[in-house]
Amino acid sequence: MPDQLLFAIEVTLNGLMAGVLYALVALGFVLIFKASGIFNYAQGVMALFAALTLVGIMEGQVPFEHLINVTFGTEIHGFGWEVPALLAILLTMVVMVLFAWAVNWIVLRHLVNQEPIILFMATIGLAYFLEGLGDMMWGSDIKTLDVGLPQGINTWIDETTFNAFGYGFFIDNLDLVATLIAILLVAALVAFSQYTKQGRALRAVADDHQAALSVGISLNFIWVLTWSIAGFVALVAGIMWGAKSGVQFSLSLIALKALPVLMLGGFTSIPGAIVGGLIIGVGEKLFEFLIGPLVGGATENWFAYVLALIFLVFRPQGLFGEKIIERV
Amino acid sequence: MTGPGMSAGARGRSDVRDSLDHEVTADGRKIGGVLMDMRSITLRFGGVEAIKNISFDIREGEIRAIIGPNGAGKSSMLNVISGFYVPQEGEVWFRGSRRPPMKPYQVARQGIARTFQNIALFEGMSVLDNVMTGRLTQMKTGMAAQALWWGKAQREEVENRARVEQIIDFLEIQHIRKTPVGRLPYGLKKRVELARALAADPMLLLLDEPMAGMNVEEKEDMSRFILDVNDEFGTTIALIEHDMGVVMDLSDRVVVMDYGRKIGDGTPAEVRSNQDVIDAYLGVSHD
Ligand SMILES: Nc1ncnc2c1ncn2[C@@H]1O[C@H](COP(=O)(O)OP(=O)(O)OP(=O)(O)O)[C@@H](O)[C@H]1O
Ligand SMILES: [Mg+2]
């Protein structure tokens, strides 16, 4: 096989794995948008916050440590214990559920039936609030997150492909595990929504609020549930990204990458979020590989947005999105 | 056998009584005490008074019709009963006690199911799934229990599924069980909506114009279903309907509304001979 083709395949594979992460973040958006029509700008910051909280809990940090020390003149530096990763993940999930509950009871409950733009503005406020809260609770320094996921080149793939094609593919173990976890997560979500009564209630609310109320579904409960699930998805995305590039502010910017993914996949389609994520992931890596050298590189910064723009022009409802029909 | 073809007023209450608070209709159904009591209800939208100080009751086992010209406030009244609208004044009494202000989902959980004038179904879901949502109030297994004890949740699902299949058979919609509701014609959608409401095994069933927009044959089917539901399940029904023939055939008692006021209340025969009602509503056919 010619080298160029082998490189291209390797780039595609790596793109797929990057795409998985985009897909996860986009999935968080879609879940909330479907259930409540809210475009949750804070989804990316939720991933950052979840990852920060996870690191904080694992390392035994005292929440609001700095604030407490400044206010009371104390010298607290951590609890002095470490929490095992699995337990810390569970605790972080509890925090995310509490967050979901608080968002609904303190903010969204008062904005029912408001214009979408108002709800959107509220989530922008939420994003900045959560970012600040994360800083205050856990400090603003860059943290490393190690929940024990395998890292580094997968030697088996490297050797096998080397023996077969004379060129070893570089695939990171972390990417492989991330992909596997993402697949499991999506499968679990699908099973939940298809085969449990809460899942059915969730689909019902996504479909028609009035009808959902008439069969005894509490919209508030479902909204807390969706925000909790979105929090869980954010946590998973945060763990993967954090393990790869450290837990830092840039994590919240993957939300901006999720935007073009949503334009491709449609705001209301779960399969769309997944396929859209993969297309953007592969597309931007391949484009950089093939066209990047001709235009001086750095195409990854804008490729996704231009692709989304082209999509918007020709298929505004996205790949799988429901057709936009004006209600009259 | 009762049917839509029977003569007007035949289902009106008779005077046969078998106990203090039970009476038996001409066709042998038992009508019990007051199930729902609306007391001096007033509902305003800004300056518009949609309901003006109306009182009426619904008795156990009866079919109660609410009629009136367009904009009379009929749907508003149904929305008050089901908790979608909160009246500014008045009291709602259900099963002998005063109901505090409630969200629609809480009312539904009390055993009051409804359909909508403009059909509110889950368009993206299959007929079967739509009807299954009607069962949600009957499914008690919590979320944690479902996750930890999958078997129990599955058993509950199967039991409820069996009841849903019964209702689907009863309403003769087996052939469209798996069809996404969005693809169904109007008449069938109305029937699916009834199925979903019935799936809750409601104590009180509220139907907002169940036959609107249907052809004669569909109307006859729907009339038959409504009568059968009332007969076989003993479900109390309150319905809004414009077709006077249907109303006279189906209902035991009728409330007549006009411009938010109650202008008549009684058996179909009584209502038909009420001069206010004739003027406001039936007048057209008596000119
Ligand atoms: N949500 C609402 N907001 C404002 N006004 C409303 C609302 N719902 C009903 N109304 C007003 O209340 C009055 C009664 O309306 P309602 O829908 O109850 O009438 P109706 O008897 O059901 O009429 P129809 O036979 O046309 O269905 C109307 O003037 C209507 O405009
Ligand atoms: Mg109406």
Q: Does the pLDDT of residue A311 top 70, yes or no?
A: yes
Give the pLDDT mean for A138-150: 86
Dihedral sign from CA coordinates of B181, B182, B187, B190:
positive
Q: Report the nearest-CA residue for atom 8 of ligand 1.
A: B76
* pLDDT of amino acid A322: 62
The answer to whether position B92 is within a domain reads yes
Q: Are residues B71 and B175 in the same domain?
A: no
Q: Are residues B37 and B136 in the same domain?
A: no
Closest among A144, A143, A45 to A96, alpha carbons compared = A45
State chain B's mean pLDDT as an integer: 88
A243 contacts A145 by C-beta, under 8 angstroms? yes
Least confident of A163-177, B41-55, B230-244: A163-177
Residues ≥6 apart with Cβ < 8 Å to A51: A145, A235, A238, A239, A241, A242, A247, A251
pLDDT, one tens digit per residue, over B55-96 is: 999 999 999 999 999 999 999 999 999 999 999 999 999 999
* pLDDT of amino acid B18: 46
Q: Report the nearest-CA residue for atom 17 of ligand 1.
A: B75
Residues ≥6 apart with Cβ < 8 Å to A90: none
| Contact call for B136 and A219, based on CB within 8 A | no
For the Cβ of B75 lying below 6 angstroms from any atom of ligand 1, the answer is yes
Cα angle A115-A122-A245, degrees, rounded to a multiple of 5: 130
Write down the residue that tokens 């002095």 correspond to. Answer: A80
- pLDDT > 90 in chain B, percent: 69
Q: Are residues B170 and B249 in the same domain?
A: no
For the Cβ of B45 lying below 6 angstroms from any atom of ligand 1, the answer is yes
Q: In sequence order, what are the beta bridge partners of B92?
A: B38
Closest among B210, B204, B31, B248 to B118, alpha carbons compared = B210
The answer, for B102 touching chain A at a CB cutoff of 8 Å, is: no
| Contact call for A204 and B122, based on CB within 8 A | yes
The answer to whether position B283 is within a domain reads yes
H/E element holding A126?
helix A116-138
Residues with CB under 5 A from ligand 2 (ion): B 75, 117
Q: Are residues B24 and B53 in the same domain?
A: yes
Closest among B268, B204, B190 to B236, alpha carbons compared = B204
**Of B145, B177, B201, which marks where a domain is finished?**
B201
Output Rg (C-alpha) for chain B, integer angstroms: 19
Least confident of A11-20, B138-147, B179-188: B138-147
* Residue A49: C-alpha distances to residues A45, A46, A121, A144, A233 (Å): 6, 5, 19, 14, 12
The answer to whether position B117 is within a domain reads no
Most distant CA pair in chain B: distance in Å?
69
The 10 Å Cβ neighbour count of residue A134 is 23
For the Cβ of B12 lying below 6 angstroms from any atom of ligand 1, the answer is no
Q: Are residues B29 and B146 in the same domain?
A: no
Token pair recorded at residue B71: 């904009």
The residue of chain B nearest to residue A221, with distances taken between CA atoms, is B105
Query: How far A177 CA sits from the closest chain B CA (Å)?
Result: 25
The residue of chain B nearest to residue A213, with distances taken between CA atoms, is B105
| Contact call for A217 and B105, based on CB within 8 A | yes
pLDDT band at A127 (very low <50, low <70, confident <90, very high): very high
The one-letter amino acid at B30: K
- Cα of B192 vs centre of ligand 2, distance in Å, is 19
Q: Are residues B105 and B167 in the same domain?
A: no
Residues ≥6 apart with Cβ < 8 Å to B112: B81, B82, B94, B202, B203, B204, B205, B206
Of the two residues A325 and B253, the one the predictor is more confident about is B253
* pLDDT of amino acid B260: 94
- Structural domain for B189, as ranges: 122-201
* pLDDT of amino acid B282: 53
Q: In sequence order, what are the beta bridge partners of B98?
A: B93
- Cα of B77 vs centre of ligand 1, distance in Å, is 9
Which CATH number characterizes residue B241's domain?
A: 3.40.50.300
* pLDDT of amino acid B5: 40
The answer, for A194 touching chain B at a CB cutoff of 8 Å, is: no
Q: Are residues B74 and B159 in the same domain?
A: no
Q: Are residues B106 and B39 in the same domain?
A: yes
Interface A-B: count of C-beta contacts within 8 A: 78
Of the two residues A4 and A137, the one the predictor is more confident about is A137
Helix axes A219-245, A3-36, angle to 10 degrees: 150
For residue B72, the ligand 1 atom closest to its alpha carbon is: 21
* pLDDT of amino acid A103: 94
Interface pTM, i.e. ipTM: 0.87
DSSP string, B208-241: ESTTTT--HHHHHHHHHHHHHHHHHH--EEEEE-
- Cα of B98 vs centre of ligand 1, distance in Å, is 25
Q: Are residues B216 and B129 in the same domain?
A: no
* pLDDT of amino acid B82: 97
Closest among B189, B171, B162, B160 to B227, alpha carbons compared = B171
**Of B201, B227, B248, which marks where a domain is finished?**
B201
A248 contacts A263 by C-beta, under 8 angstroms? no
pLDDT, one tens digit per residue, over A186-214 is: 889 888 888 888 889 999 998 999 999 99
Closest among B167, B282, B145 to B232, alpha carbons compared = B167
Give the pLDDT mean for A297-315: 88
A55 contacts A242 by C-beta, under 8 angstroms? yes
Token pair recorded at residue A74: 């104390």
For the Cβ of B79 lying below 6 angstroms from any atom of ligand 1, the answer is no
For the Cβ of B70 lying below 6 angstroms from any atom of ligand 1, the answer is yes
The one-letter amino acid at B96: G
Q: Report the nearest-CA residue for atom 23 of ligand 1.
A: B71
Closest among B42, B52, B75, B41 to B259, alpha carbons compared = B52
Where are chain A's structural domains?
A: 3-314
Q: Are strands B63-67 and B253-258 parallel, antiparallel or unpaired?
A: parallel
Classify A293 as helix, strand or coil: helix
**Of B201, B233, B267, which marks where a domain is finished?**
B201
> How many separate domains does chain B show?
2
Q: Are residues B84 and B141 in the same domain?
A: no
The answer, for A327 touching chain B at a CB cutoff of 8 Å, is: no
For the Cβ of B68 lying below 6 angstroms from any atom of ligand 1, the answer is yes
* pLDDT of amino acid A241: 86
Q: Are residues B154 and B273 in the same domain?
A: no
* pLDDT of amino acid A50: 95
Give the pLDDT mean for A16-44: 88
Distance CA B36, CA A158 (A): 74
The answer, for A204 touching chain B at a CB cutoff of 8 Å, is: yes
Residues ≥6 apart with Cβ < 8 Å to A167: A1, A3, A6, A161
Q: Are residues B63 and B23 in the same domain?
A: yes
Least confident of A13-22, A100-109, A244-253, A277-286: A244-253
Minimum-distance CB partner of B129 among A198, A200, A210: A200
| Contact call for A213 and B141, based on CB within 8 A | no
Residues from chain B contacting residue A212 (CB–CB below 8 Å): 105, 122, 133
The dihedrals phi and psi of A91, each to the nearest 5 degrees, come to -65, -40
B257 contacts B263 by C-beta, under 8 angstroms? yes
B152 contacts B141 by C-beta, under 8 angstroms? yes
- Cα of A17 vs centre of ligand 2, distance in Å, is 54
